A and B are shown apart, each in its own frame.
Chain A
Amino acid sequence: MRFLQRRLPFRAAADERRLTCAARLGTHPHGGEVKLKLKWISLILALSAVIMLSACKKKVAPPPPPPPPPPAAPTASLTANPNAIDKGQSSTLNWETSNATDVSIDGVGAVRPTGSQSVTPPESTTYTLTAKGPGGTQQATARVTVNAPPPPPTASSATEEELFSQNVKDIYFDYDKSDVRGDQQSSLQSDVAFLRQHPNIGVTVEGHCDERGSTEYNLALGDSRASAVRNALVQGGVAGDHVKTISYGKERPFCTESNEQCWQQNRRGHFVYQK
């Protein structure tokens, strides 16, 4: 729209100029009043008409020369049947072209001018047929929608992640301590059990601290906490190369109030699911 709006004033100006030229021609001051000088006047009239016409000539589109007969433009059509499938099923593409020398379908390759082919797209796909000929290029498209199957493979990892967040419990620490305290052992045991049952899951243990103490000491303390959790997991039989650690010190608190309840929330080894 913006493009059109910008172009419109130009076109209006051109029209105005054309009108002005026509008006000048129609109201020539010497319009045949003095017959004696008829010849003279008609010469002037003719001359000014030529001048006016030549001035206006550019605004009047010349009649186009008769075009040479063009080569016939190609035609193309493409359909998919059915156009909605479940994952793993196939659909049939049917196409017809004319006046084309070179026909191809994206994702399929070069094909004959008219034909059909079965496709099994893994996800919803728009097929584009391109027909090229001496008369130009024509495209046609058909979309095959792939409905997600009820238990798709991607959903199994989402479920795994859900299971992870339901079963894996963070480990909480005492102030300035990085050893796993007694009341956290049951959480730790269930973490070990879950991670051993799901050996394909990777995990990052984040070490967090409360806001008290120095930034630098808390980064080191958070590192010790993350390592303590990792070591306990590995001792419990979790593969060490599946457990990474990172310290956040007091940089990313879960809770920002200055009281013990909040501080306890922040003194933890936090488990983060890794695919």
Chain B
Amino acid sequence: MIRPIIFAVILASLFSSAFAQDWIRTGTGLGVEKVRIAVPDFKAATQDPKNTDLLRVFNDTLFSDLENAGIFDVVSKSFYPLGPIGTPADVKFEGWSGPPANAAMLAFGNLGVTGSNMTVQGWLYDVKNVASPQVLGKQYGDAPTADAARLTAHKFADEIIFRLGGGIQGIAESTIVFVSSRTGKKEIWEMDYDGNNQHQVTHLGSISLSPRFSPDGSRIAFSSLTKSGWDILMYSLELDRMVAFPRFGGTNVSPAWAPDGTKIAFSSSRSGDPEIYVAEAAGTNLKRITSFKGPDVSPTWNRKTGAQIAWVSGRSGLPQIYMSEADGTNAQRFTEEGYAVSPSWSPNGQFLTFSWIRHYGPGAPGAQDIYLMDIASKQWVQLTHDGGRNDSPCWSPDGRHIVFQSNRSGTEQIWTMLADGTAQKPVTASGRNSQPNWSWK
């Protein structure tokens, strides 16, 4: 009991000023004093009738992207000075920097459709620096469609996040692949990070599981039940079709890409017992890196170095997380108790997030929650507390967010949260959805 209490204290400081420097350096920016930013609705720049709908999509997307980013305190719109603002000439600094808005930053601009073109101008102003306020000025051109308006908002949001978030790329343009059974069969689906634009990727009519983006985003590796059993399959997002990957025999599941995209680790029972194997990205040069009776499954690479692998092993009874060098040497047990599965290594290499029934056994609550563990110290923090089974956590590319599955709402759905456990919200609602995997950029 002592350690969790001590760690709770450490954790409290982790997300506040004492460890703030550490969090900045390690790349999440969470826990730092948040930048107070105002995001007034963009103004129509032309008289085109399409402007109204496109502006609604653009403004909603930009506002929610900045709110979701985890590094901003977005000023409530009710505090904004009156009057539309579309160009630098409209900015009245005192109204934004003074009470009640008290904004440090102001993101504003305009959108206008002319014929078949949509033009967006966006600025980011440091409203307390009246002499030289401009931090960012961008112009975008695209087709006048809702999808293009949403994408443009994501791009502008990512520019702002990049400038104000310590030089880390935002996630507004990232996507999530997941398993959905909404068609009656478990297929691979893809969506924008905020749950928009959900679309089916595979149409195999079997059971497809464990989708994993390649680091360059060109492919999805996953496992599927085929005529010969469970095989690792490969889908090319560039060619929009399945591409070849070898069949190894036995049960082949849970693929994981090395961060440089040259290798894939997965679990195979081709030798009779489920073990972790590593192959080249094309499936060649297969090497077994574990050899111990009991299931070995769910590998994840150190995303910063690619030099270590963590995975789940049942060799000692209930599944625990183990770690070794990428060639399988120096294997060590990482979790000490309970039932620990589904590890995902953070982009900065410092943390694991995984699903844990920490006190498993008679009389224990047996809740399955998402945890974050510092690899060097093995100190952990519990990120979900709201009941249900929470599983399959995966980091966002900026390391500030975690996507996971939870059945706390009654059905299994995809949820996102900040990596400190705040801002938990569902991003899917239709059918049953599970095993999310966030794109690498």
Contact = CB atoms under 8 A, between A and B. Distances in A.
Contacts of A223: 250-251, 269, 274, 295
Given A246-B229, A247-B230, A214 B295 contact: no
Contacts, number: 86
A224 B319 contact: no
B223 to A, nearest CB: 8
Contacts of A219: 209, 223, 230, 251, 253-254, 297
A20 B317 CA distance: 98
A217 B295 contact: yes
Nearest to B389: A212
Interface residues of A, number: 18
B339 A216 contact: no
B341 interface: yes
B312 interface: yes
Interface in B233-288: 250-251, 253-254, 267, 269, 272-274
Contacts of A213: 319, 339, 341
A220 B251 contact: yes
B135 interface: no
Interface in A206-221: 212-217, 219-221
A96 interface: no
Nearest to B210: A216
Interface string A219-260: 111111001000000000000000000110001000000000
A161 interface: no
A243 to B, nearest CB: 13
B187 to A, nearest CB: 13
B427 interface: no
A216 B298 contact: yes
Main SS at interface, chain B: strand
B392 interface: yes
Contacts of A176: 314, 317-319, 339
Nearest to B251: A223
Contacts of A214: 298, 312, 319, 341-342, 355, 391-392
Contacts of B355: 214
B296 interface: yes
Contacts of B318: 176
B317 A220 contact: no
Interface string B370-405: 000000000000000000010110000000000000
B273 A224 contact: yes
B97 interface: no
A219 B274 CA distance: 9
A221 B229 CA distance: 15
B152 interface: no
A221 to B, nearest CB: 5
A5 B339 CA distance: 72
B251 A217 contact: no
Contacts of A178: 294-295
Given A214-B298, A217-B342, 14 more contacts: A176-B317, A176-B318, A176-B319, A214-B341, A215-B209, A215-B392, A216-B267, A217-B297, A219-B223, A219-B297, A221-B314, A227-B269, A246-B230, A247-B251
25 contacts: A176-B339, A178-B295, A212-B389, A214-B319, A214-B391, A214-B392, A215-B209, A216-B209, A216-B253, A216-B267, A217-B295, A217-B314, A219-B253, A219-B297, A220-B295, A220-B297, A222-B251, A223-B274, A223-B295, A224-B273, A224-B274, A227-B269, A246-B251, A247-B251, A247-B269
Interface of A: 176, 178, 212-217, 219-224, 227, 246-247, 251
Interface of B: 186, 207, 209-210, 223, 225, 229-230, 250-251, 253-254, 267, 269, 272-274, 294-298, 312, 314, 317-319, 339, 341-342, 355, 368, 389, 391-392, 434-435
Q: Which 9 A-B pairs have the closest CB atoms?
A: A220-B295, A220-B274, A214-B341, A220-B297, A223-B251, A216-B254, A223-B269, A216-B298, A214-B342
